[in-house]
Structure 1
């Protein structure tokens, strides 16, 4: 019998691996609906859907290995990062999905709430929160919507050698800011940004990407803490925020 591996589990959703099959269990069926529709539309490699029986979605494993993990140096080659950049560019240039994305005013309001919580809880020095809040302002500007993945963490892109084999976890796909995807992928792996953009194209806005590094780290920290993750682990969100202080 195949072993059951818990890939991720928290109060909102869980992903289990059994052999070459991933079973995604989500309390909100809308997430699976978005994932299925997005994978059918996007012009990049995605895992095959095996079956769907709400609240479970079964998908096949993607060959290869993830570009890396947060908190550790990426083992992938510069060419693999460039291949990821080229695939992301194809996605961003694709026709928009027909469902709405996150509104700018909602992002700004959530950022205010999370910064207030960080200051009240004192899990970070106040000057780190305040300086990163200033940097995050650079992301709070009108953007031309692109087809974005919406949760393009480094563990969601798979490569074999220098070739991209698949992108997984599409439940947050929507129209949105292309720079958000690029920032999410390079969060904690800033040294890989040049290689990524070599494949993506030289019209990416590096200042906005840096602003999203701050914004995403500020916005995610409370959720991570409350769901048993550690944003203060080496190379993770708190280190990203501290690094912005050194850049100042």
Structure 2
């Protein structure tokens, strides 16, 4: 009998692993619909979809290992990071999905709301929140929508040696800002950005990538805390936010 492994579980979604099969249970069937459609459209390696019976989506395990983990140095080679960059470039150059993405107004409203919560609940020093809110402003500008993964965490990209073998968890895929994907993949691993861009290309705005890291860390913290995760683990969101206080210009 195969052992059932709980990969992640919270009130919105649970992912179980049974052998080489992942079972994703989601209270919102729209997430599974987007995931299936996005994987069919994406010009990058994705896991095989075995079946989909809402609220459950069954997919095969991606071969290889994740590019890295938050809070730990990435053991992947520079060439593997470059291969990930090339894969992301092909995604961003693919036709844009036909469903809507988040607007600039949506992002701005969420940032304002989550910063208010952080201030009110005093989970971080006021100056840390204020400094990162200033940095995040750089990302709040019009962008040309491209096909983005939308949740391109380092654990969602799998490699075998120097090759990308699979990109998982596509439920947030949508039209969006290319710099957002690059920021999320290097969140907590900023030292790997040059290797990533060796494959992606250098026509990027590093200040916007940096801004998205602060913005994502600010808006994600409330959700993580409420769903039993700890953004204060080494290398995670709070560390990203605190690190901005060591930069030139920080007060």
Q: Measure the CA separation in 2 of the matches of 1:2 and 1:192.
A: 37
Q: Which residue of 2 aligns with 1:223?
A: 223
* Counterpart Cα distance in 1 of 2:8 and 2:37: 23
1:247 and 1:44 map into 2 onto residues whose CA distance is: 36
Separation in 2 of the partners of 1:199 and 1:205? Answer: 15
Residue in 2 aligned with 1:89? 89
Q: Partners of 1:174 and 1:54 in 2: how far apart? A: 20
CA distance in 1, matches of 2:244, 2:78: 24
**CA distance in structure 2 between the partners assigned to 1:201 and 1:152 by the alignment:** 18
Give CA-to-partner distance per residue, 1:54-93, whole Å, 9 cap, x none: 1000000010000011111111000000000000000000
CA deviation after TM superposition for structure 1 residue 244, in Å: 1.1
Runs of 4+ off more than 2 Å: none
The residue correspondences of 1:183-202 to structure 2 (distance < 5 A) are 183-202=183-202
Aligned to 1:73: 73
* Cα distance, 1:147 vs structure 2: 0.1
Distance 1:109 1:52 in 2: 34
TM-score w.r.t. structure 2 length? Answer: 0.98
| Structure 1 position 169, deviation (Å) | 0.4
Query: How does 1:23-62 map onto structure 2 within 5 Å?
Result: 23-62=23-62
Equivalent runs, 1:224-243 vs 2, <5 Å: 224-243=224-243
Partners of 1:88 and 1:222 in 2: how far apart? 28
State the alpha-carbon separation in 2 of the partners of residues 169 and 240 from structure 1: 23
Deviation per CA, 1:98-128: give whole Å up to 9, x if none.
0000011010000001101111111100000
Aligned to 1:136, the other structure's residue is in SS state helix
- Distance in 1 between the 2:7 and 2:69 partners? 13
* Cα offset, 1:223, TM superposition: 0.4
Q: What is the alpha-carbon distance in structure 1 between the residues aligned to residue 112 and residue 71 of structure 2?
A: 26
Deviation per CA, 1:136-169: give whole Å up to 9, x if none: 0000000000000000000000000111001000
Question: How big is the shift at 1:204?
Answer: 1.2
Partners of 2:126 and 2:156 lie apart in 1 by 32
Matched, 1:118 2:121: no
Distance in 1 of aligned mates of 2:212 and 2:22: 30
- 1:205 & 1:44 partners in 2: Cα distance? 23
TM, length-normalised to structure 1: 0.99
Aligned length: 248
Counterpart in the other structure of 2:171: 171
